[in-house]
Amino acid sequence: MFRQFVVCNVIFMFIIVFLKPSSSADLSPDRKKLYHDIVSGRGLYYGFTKIKELNGTNFKTVVFEKERHKLWLVEFYNSWCGHCHRFAPTWKTLASNAYEWRDTVGIGAVDCANDGNNQLCRDMEVMYYPMIKLFPPKSEITFLGEDFPKGTVEEMLRNVTIKLKTYHTTEEGPEGLHLKPITDGDLASVWSSVPSNSVFLVLVFEPENATVGSELALDLSRTREVQVRLISPNNPGLAHIVGVERGANRVVVLERGNQHTALPLTEHTRVGLNKAVRQFLVDRGVDVPLELPPVEVILPEDINIGDVMSVMQQEDEIKKKLHTTALSSIVFQLDLEGAIRYSLKNEVPLHKNITGERLTALKNYMNILIKYFPFGQQGIDFLRKLNENALEGRSEVSGREFRQNFLRIEEEYKPFLPKQGWIGCQGSNPQYRGYPCSLWTMFHTLTVHEETREGNSTGKQPKVLSTMAGYVKNFFTCSECAGHFTEMAKTMRGNVSTHEDSVIWLWKAHNNVNRRLAGDATEDPKHKKIQFPSTEACPKCRAADDSWNKAEVLTFLRNMYMNIIYLQEEDLSTTTTVATPAEPSVYDRNLRHEVFEEEQGYKHRLLDDNTKRTLWGFNIFDISICVVLYVCSAGILILVCIKFVFKRSYRKKPYIHDILSKV
């Protein structure tokens, strides 16, 4: 046993010392966000609104007080635990599948790696990770929860339903939810328990140990026009009235007035029942929930400790630069998402009818965003769904309809970071920078991502620049800015034939705009327009005569726009150990050079800094110390092991007097 322990320590030491982290640019957007959430103490489910983030502050208030009428399933996990990472997609899929149950069932999670939750996890006697605990409705505050077995999504949904059915045999459930099978009575008695605003009554005939009917009742529990009742096999009278054979698994929908319809079922499963009942209700104009999400789980890649530490080190370096001018070459995901959200939610819908050239420009814009915008999978799915619902196959679309589609699909997919605002594009006053700055940033990012992905493809012409020009011409709300950019765009022909040309052309065009507007009344006085990059940001980008070294500029731009940072405003404290009260805040410094020509009247939302989350306080130095201590302890254990091995193998040399002395 001791030998195995030593071997494991040696292997772990080897991994820590020699593990080579990936480049930040090589990580997918989903990986970057995950690693940022880990190192910032936000856990594995930050921004996933279908799971309630519970902590040492709100746990008892939510589970035992405000929402004690619910059955709660809570996962206690450690955000550094590899098994927890592999289980997280299952927990998210469970929450998505039970989302329509949210008035009755709460799905929560607690990150025990967060210092603020340590006491809670001890109090709840969490012995391993991930650990799931179930809290029945109206649980006492002293209750520690009962262990809930992990399994597939379908198995866990079935087990939760069984718990609810057991609870509802003795206690009343929420209004309109009946999980206790009806064993006797006629149609009149069944209708007597149905609220007057419900038009349809779904009767599910199935064995009492089945859960499919109960799951259907939970799925439709928020649809007020319909009620679901479970009919026991021990109620042959009711089965006879509606024409159901005794013991058969059937679904019958009643309408007020005793008209009833037996629904054809391909299979007596949750999906089968949902499909049949949903189609019946949709045909009669009832607004029903979205189709059930799939229960299949895509397992993630294992967490790479080297990559996590690399992200931690990178973010620590950025935080050290808060009170300097060195952040001008940092691209924040928050700014990029602000650009895409404002353009699709605010600018595009301003047009009453979008047709012809304008519609073509919008379709091209959407296709470029889908292909090159640095979104995670949820964001890409959001863009594809918006494109499919609002634009595909259309020769005309109204701005109002486009906005409605955007808001509905945004609510469904939740593609953006939870707290929108600006970091690199924050102006010294609300009328400065903001959206125009973020639009420049996004366009630069798109050209670099196109060049990185398509640069080696022969025969492929760059598309981002022409698409960008089309968007600015048809949708950008500063008409003077749009006119200037459209004039510049005429120089693309003959100057842009490769993807590298595309990146360099936009960089030159941007510097030309900065040169023209330097000192203009629209310039933010705290963010002077410069020829970018500055010598401080990229010493190799300029020759001795101050001319540009385009090869170095291209390398600089690639590094800048491929290494996107997921820090948010709440991560960037405006005070540091080197700051003094007299120093200006981070937003009074020169953070970003991308300043589109501002138009008076732009009003951009300031970042909400009312809520500050507590971070762990660990930096790369702290982690390094831990690693060094671990390596030293492992080394000592190895030496002790070697000493014991040699001691056991040592044999004392026999002498003649030893033998004689024993005689």
Chain segment 561-572, per-residue pLDDT in tens: 998 888 776 666
Q: Biggest alpha carbon distance in the chain?
A: 116
Structure tokens at 376: 């995670």
Q: Which of 331, 337, 334 is nearest to 314 (CA)?
A: 331
Q: Which of 141, 153, 169 is nearest to 65 (CA)?
A: 141
Q: Which of 465, 472, 471, 532 is nearest to 502 (CA)?
A: 465
Q: How distant is the alpha carbon of residue 233 from its chain centre? A: 45
The backbone torsions φ and ψ at residue 436, rounded to the nearest 5 degrees and listed phi first, read -60, -40
Burial tier of 115 (Cβ tally within 10 Å: 0-12, 13-18, 19+)? middle
pTM: 0.58
Structure tokens at 480: 């003077």
Arithmetic mean of pLDDT over the chain: 77
Chain segment 153-201, per-residue pLDDT in tens: 999 999 999 999 888 877 766 666 888 888 777 777 778 788 888 889 8
Chain segment 507-556, per-residue pLDDT in tens: 988 888 888 777 666 666 666 777 888 888 888 999 888 899 999 999 99
Q: Which of 544, 307, 522 is nearest to 432 (CA)?
A: 522
The rounded distance, in Å, linking the Cα atoms of 259 and 205 is 18
The rounded distance, in Å, linking the Cα atoms of 57 and 72 is 17
Percent of the chain with pLDDT over 70: 71
Distances (CA, A) of 28 to 123, 238, 464, 554, 627: 37, 57, 21, 22, 27
Higher pLDDT: 450 or 593? It is 450
The structural domains of the chain, ordered by start, are 42-165 (3.40.30.10), 175-283 (3.40.30.10), 321-588 (1.20.120.310)
Higher pLDDT: 61 or 489? It is 61
Chain segment 96-133, per-residue pLDDT in tens: 999 999 999 999 999 998 888 999 999 999 999 999 99
Higher pLDDT: 216 or 477? It is 216
SS3 of 396, please? strand
Q: Hunting for tokens 């950025």 — which residue is that?
A: 318
Q: Which of 383, 403, 385, 394 is nearest to 356 (CA)?
A: 394
